[in-house]
Amino acid sequence: MMPPSEFVVHAIVLGLGATALMDAWIWLRQRWLGVPGMNYTLLGRWVAWLPRGRFLHDPIAATPPVHGERVIGIAAHVLTGIVFAAILLVFGGETWLRAPTLPLSLMVGIGSVVAPFLLMQPGMGLGIAARPAWPALAEADLSADFVLFDADTAHDGQFPWPAGAPPMPLVALIGSEAPGRLDWVLAQGATGHL
């Protein structure tokens, strides 16, 4: 069995390394693909409200800011990496450190991806996997002058009319210019985009 001080050192080194690798990937995606990175300020706001008894926000951006929330968010991000590294060490121990195995690494890695989707993002008012549910359009909404919609999170069956036959002009807000996403927007009958 590993001494506690050695366990802590390994957890910190593994956690910092994994966090740095993830941050490098996020930076590359941002530079190469234009995918926005993580907003640590909002993460810090969510974490800062936890001790005050508030887990759910609707949405987090509407919650009052907290002094130092960006620093809190970065610290929470790094500490989360260390906690997941500690979980890996609890189950794998010294044996895993000497000869890492793919199954345990994948299980903890998948857990580190699933946890934010099922805990943090719903708590921040972003829905499961940061996919908020679209509200159903009421009958009165069908007389609107136009519909402005987020093309990056839109989905089949979102509108109460057949694809390509909107009863009013559709304006798509597009952040991702992936060909498949643009094809979907055009198939919906969008008359404009931003």
Q: Which amino acid, 187? A: A
Strand blocks (E) in the chain: 147-150, 170-173, 192-193
Query: Same domain, yes or no, for 181 and 122?
Result: no
Query: Same domain, yes or no, for 73 and 103?
Result: yes
| Rounded (to 5) percent helix, strand, coil in the chain | 60, 5, 35
89 pLDDT band, cuts 50/70/90, is very high
Query: For residue 74, what are its two tokens?
Result: 């970065």
- If one counts every other C-beta atom within 10 angstroms of the C-beta of residue 129, the result is 12
Is residue 140 within 8 Å of residue 151, measured between CB atoms? no
Query: Same domain, yes or no, for 11 and 91?
Result: yes
Interval 111-148: pLDDT, tens? 998 888 888 888 888 777 555 555 666 666 777 778 88
Q: Hey, is 47 helix, strand or coil?
A: helix
Query: Same domain, yes or no, for 60 and 103?
Result: yes
Count the domains in the chain.
2
Residues 84 and 19: their CA atoms lie apart, in Å, by 10
Interval 172-188: pLDDT, tens? 888 766 777 788 888 88
Domain end, chosen from 130, 156, 184, is at 130
Which pLDDT does position 136 carry in this prediction? 61
Highest mean pLDDT among 16-30, 51-65, 137-151: 16-30
Which pLDDT does position 155 carry in this prediction? 72
Domain end, chosen from 77, 112, 130, is at 130
Query: Same domain, yes or no, for 20 and 43?
Result: yes
Residues 41 and 61: their CA atoms lie apart, in Å, by 10
Residues 23 and 165: their CA atoms lie apart, in Å, by 43
Containing structural domain, residue 51: 4-130
Domain end, chosen from 130, 161, 178, is at 130
Query: Same domain, yes or no, for 117 and 143?
Result: no
Residue with the larger pLDDT of the pair 178 and 12? 12
Query: Same domain, yes or no, for 106 and 143?
Result: no
Query: Same domain, yes or no, for 126 and 166?
Result: no
Query: Same domain, yes or no, for 32 and 103?
Result: yes
Query: What pTM, to 2 d.p., does this model score?
Result: 0.66
Query: Same domain, yes or no, for 145 and 66?
Result: no
Is residue 70 within 8 Å of residue 40, measured between CB atoms? yes
Query: Same domain, yes or no, for 52 and 26?
Result: yes
Q: Provide the percentage of residues in the chain whose pLDDT is more than 90.
A: 41
CA within 13 Å, CB half, 10: 19
Summarize the confidence of residues 48-63 as an average pLDDT: 87
Strand blocks (E) in 87-130: none
Summarize the confidence of residues 24-37 as an average pLDDT: 83
Query: Same domain, yes or no, for 156 and 122?
Result: no
The mean of the pLDDT values for the chain is: 85
CA within 13 Å, CB half, 51: 4
Helices (H) and strands (E) in the chain, counts: 6, 3
Q: Is the pLDDT of residue 100 over 90?
A: yes
Which pLDDT does position 131 carry in this prediction? 55
